[in-house]
Amino acid sequence: MAGLATVFGSGAMTNSIDEIEHADVILITGTNTTENHPVIAQRIKRAVERGTARLVVADPRRIDLVNQANYWLRQKPGTDVAWLNSLMHWIIKKDLHAREYIDRRCEGFEELAAEVEKYTPEYAEKITGIPAEDLKAVAELIGKADRTTFLYAMGITQHTTGTNNVKSMANLAMITGNVGRYATGVNPLRGQNNVQGACDMGALPNVFPGYQLVTDPKVRKKFSEVWGVASLSDKPGLTMTQMMPGIGQGEIKGMYIMGENPVLSDPNAGHVETALQELDFLVVQDIFLTETARLADVVLPAASYAEKDGTFTNTERRVQKVRAAIDPVGISFPDWRIIQRIARLMGAQINFSTPEQIFNEIRRTTPSYAGITYTRIEREGGLQWPCPDIDHPGTMYLHKDGFKRGKGLLTAISYKPSAELPDKDYPLLLTTGRMQFHYHTGTMTRRCKSLSTLAPEPLLDINPQNALELGLSDGDLVKLFSRRGNIKIKVNINHSVDEGVVFSTFHFHESPINRLTNDVLDPVAKIPEYKVCAVRVEKA
């Protein structure tokens, strides 16, 4: 969001899921789409199988979609800016950039062109490991295509250069004229069903709902009047990754955690667990007693998605209804009812009786949602924001007539290595992700017997050459060390990872991989560098 909001003025998926199948070229990077977004992956596969789209996969691992790809760019983890700059270098060198589009709709091209001048395919090959000829071929493919769509996920954002990686992707899309048109765009695939909706509702430290800045006095006045309070703070808060150090520094005394399990999901998780235990007061609101909830002073039992009404806003900005299938079990309540009851006990006059009443307040305060109603959602099967008035059909793709910020901002970006790279003490590079059968920290999926039968335990993917050097056989138990801790885990020897790289998921509390990952942050978005850290492997 930080990258796209800066260069476009809006930090959301620019186009729609349906449009993916109609692109001439589909470039995916940092997304194991088949396992994490299988419905979207089916659309990609259909387009390739029909012969209407060419597929480029840029990923350090041999993921499933590599089997359908016309080109596989196997970059070293953490080198995304270098290969993206190289594609732009070759496109400009071959005069394949969209000159008229750039002149009319963008600014900063001269600075960008000067920066990418040194990123020849041969220079980028030394950094990334991607053959220069492949970089040239992909650059020409994109440069000559009419419509290219760019899909990415956390594989390129969870780095100290995550914001720059996204800006580089946007640079490539803009110089080829692939923003603001049908079946093009820069499209982040959200990792959860309502991540977009949570962001839209202000679950960020510097904005109110609708990305309205807390520093804007007119915005604060509007929300103060709607919420019936005298004033609202103009100071941005902290991101979650800033909160944990804040506990140790004495800046945070209490914490209220909803539907999150940072003891398993946060980097340097051992430090997180210690920090949470130092709090004066910890409240956790969840549907199960997670590893984090076990540390809480108070646990508030929340209702699951199947026990509540409301809306979710999905990855393509589509606002959809969710309907209760059963009543809340036991003494659990929907989140909004719990929050409202606590607020009333603290003196706030919040008096909603239905989720629809809450949604109507959202419509009054959030311009992009103003034209969306429960009735319209029911009738039309969901609506995509921005939808500014009741007669508006919703927006299939953004930036058709211009960028929200005016002109698109092309940004000159230099490649910077990851914060922690392998050395003689920690000679391997660990990268992390998800698998198809389990979700996030396994709070729900590991309680499903069929899924746990399919994926019963954590595994560490390691290349056969590294396994041979370490004297390992498939299924051996190893100790995996980083500068932050160690875990035990079984090895899975295969060619999905390159030599020098190991991979695992973070779903399993038995082998909590995030005890090893690096909590160093991107300076803008404050996202941790989950995808690159130095480790060593020893036979247990």
For residue 21, is it within any domain?
yes
pLDDT of residue 465: 96
How many Å separate Cα 56 from the centre of its chain? 20
287-300 burial string, b = 16+ CB within 10 Å, else e? beebbbbebbeebb
pLDDT of residue 439: 85
Q: What is the arithmetic mean of pLDDT over 458-469?
A: 96
Q: Whole domain around residue 299: which residue ranges?
A: 195-384
- On average, the pLDDT of the chain sits at 94
pLDDT of residue 436: 87
Q: What is the arithmetic mean of pLDDT over 145-157?
A: 94
Same-domain check for residues 351 and 436: no
Same-domain check for residues 204 and 171: no
Q: Which two tokens stand for residue 352?
A: 């909603």
Query: With 0-12 CB in 10 A as exposed, 13-18 as middle and 19+ as buried, what is 211?
Result: buried
Q: Which two tokens stand for residue 520?
A: 């160093």
Same-domain check for residues 282 and 233: yes
Same-domain check for residues 185 and 69: yes
Q: What is the arithmetic mean of pLDDT over 349-369?
A: 95
pLDDT of residue 441: 87
Residue 253 in this model has a pLDDT that exceeds 80: yes
**CATH number of the domain encompassing residue 463:** 2.40.40.20
Same-domain check for residues 175 and 285: no
The model's pTM is 0.93
Q: What is the arithmetic mean of pLDDT over 278-299?
A: 97
Strands 408-409 and 106-107: parallel
Show which of 133, 160, 189 is a domain's final residue. 189
Total structural domains within the chain: 3
Show which of 141, 172, 189 is a domain's final residue. 189
User: Is the sign of the CA dihedral 243, 247, 253, 254 positive or negative?
Assistant: positive
For residue 419, is it within any domain?
no
pLDDT of residue 440: 85
Same-domain check for residues 205 and 316: yes
6-34 burial string, b = 16+ CB within 10 Å, else e? bbbbbbbbbbbbebbbbbbbbbbbbbbbb
Question: 268: which residues sit within 8 A by CB, 6+ positions away?
Answer: 484, 485, 514, 515, 517, 518, 519
Give the pLDDT band of residue 243 (cuts 50, 70, 90).
Answer: very high
For residue 420, is it within any domain?
no
Q: What is the arithmetic mean of pLDDT over 317-341?
A: 95
Residue 1 in this model has a pLDDT that exceeds 80: no
Give the pLDDT band of residue 9 (cuts 50, 70, 90).
Answer: confident
Same-domain check for residues 33 and 100: yes
For residue 417, is it within any domain?
no
User: Is the sign of the CA dihedral 355, 359, 360, 365 positive or negative?
Assistant: positive
For residue 418, is it within any domain?
no
**CATH number of the domain encompassing residue 256:** 3.40.50.740
Same-domain check for residues 17 and 125: yes
Report pLDDT digits (tens) over 10-25. 889 999 999 999 999 9
Give the pLDDT band of residue 266 (cuts 50, 70, 90).
Answer: confident
pLDDT of residue 90: 98
Whole-angstrom distance, CA of residue 98 vs CA of residue 86: 17
Residue 249, helix vs strand vs coil: coil
Q: Identify the CA nearest to 432 among candidates 492, 518, 493.
A: 518
Same-domain check for residues 176 and 231: no
Contact yes or no for 66/33 (Cβ under 8 A): no
Q: What DSSP letter does each residue of 457-506 carry, written as one string?
A: S-EEEE-HHHHHHHT--TT-EEEEEETTEEEEEEEEE-TTS-TTEEEEES
pLDDT of residue 287: 95
Q: What is the arithmetic mean of pLDDT over 176-184?
A: 97
Report pLDDT digits (tens) over 70-121. 999 999 999 999 999 999 999 999 999 999 999 999 999 999 999 999 999 9
For residue 391, is it within any domain?
no
Residue 166 in this model has a pLDDT that exceeds 80: yes
Give the pLDDT band of residue 225 (cuts 50, 70, 90).
Answer: very high
Backbone dihedral angles phi then psi of residue 473, each to the nearest 5 degrees: -110, 160
Same-domain check for residues 336 and 216: yes
Same-domain check for residues 150 and 273: no
Residue 39 in this model has a pLDDT that exceeds 80: yes
For residue 396, is it within any domain?
no
Q: What is the arithmetic mean of pLDDT over 219-224?
A: 96
Show which of 384, 399, 419 is a domain's final residue. 384
pLDDT of residue 480: 96
pLDDT of residue 2: 82
Same-domain check for residues 86 and 179: yes
pLDDT of residue 526: 87
**CATH number of the domain encompassing residue 22:** 3.40.228.10
Whole-angstrom distance, CA of residue 212 vs CA of residue 217: 10
Report pLDDT digits (tens) over 390-447. 999 999 999 999 998 899 999 999 999 999 999 999 999 999 998 888 888 888 889 9
For residue 408, is it within any domain?
no
Q: What is the DSSP letter of 370?
A: T
